[in-house]
Amino acid sequence: MAKVIYKLEDDISTDIIYPGRYMATVLPTETPQYAFADITDLNKMLNENQVPQHSVIVAGKNFGCGSSREQACSTLKGHELTIVARNFARIFLQNSINLGLQTIVCPDVEASVGDEIEIISDKIVNKTNGKSFEIIPLPKARQAIIDAGGLIPYTRKRLMEKAGK
């Protein structure tokens, strides 16, 4: 089970997730400190390690819109967050898959900060309000990349399997 730590509205752009003024910082080990830098309470919560891994941010429609900066995904992956949104911007979603960021499309999700949710293969169960919401699953190949931790670990695993190791 996971806890909802923050709720965001529609059209959260990559500039809100990872502000452009930090674009000189691209290392995945350094980008997490700038996650939601202009949403100071969320940034502080993340940087002071007040958030357990796999905590959930719930968002509205079009999460990750705007520029295609990969750092918007790596900054969230660095905190091992799960993002549940009504839908995602196409390029952000593909970047998330490539980096192994857990993203879940749930068009009707209802959750508030502090709610306990359980993510099951085809639905989200909000244990706090007792409601269930259908998930739009990613294609199996894309989910396999996320489950492996991203495209590089997935490819490494596949190559090792082919080599018989």
Beta bridge partners of 6: 57
- Provide the 10 A C-beta neighbour count for residue 146: 19
Q: Could you tell me the residue range of the domain that residue 102 belongs to?
A: 2-138
Q: Is residue 160 part of a domain?
A: no
Q: pLDDT tens digits for 29-78?
A: 899 999 999 999 999 999 998 899 899 999 999 999 998 889 999 999 99
- 79 within 8 A of 107, measured Cβ to Cβ: no
Q: Is residue 161 part of a domain?
A: no
Q: Is residue 21 part of a domain?
A: yes
- Provide the 10 A C-beta neighbour count for residue 52: 11
Q: Is residue 149 part of a domain?
A: no
How confident is the model at residue 50, as a pLDDT?
Answer: 87
Q: Is residue 165 part of a domain?
A: no
Residue 112's identity, in one-letter code, is S
* Residue 117 buriedness (CB in 10 A; 0-12 / 13-18 / 19+): buried
For the whole model, what pTM was predicted?
Answer: 0.93
Q: Is residue 163 part of a domain?
A: no
Q: Is residue 64 part of a domain?
A: yes
Q: Is residue 144 part of a domain?
A: no
CATH number of the domain encompassing residue 129: 3.20.19.10
| Number of domain units in the chain | 1
- Opening angle at CA 43, ends 40 and 48, nearest 5: 120
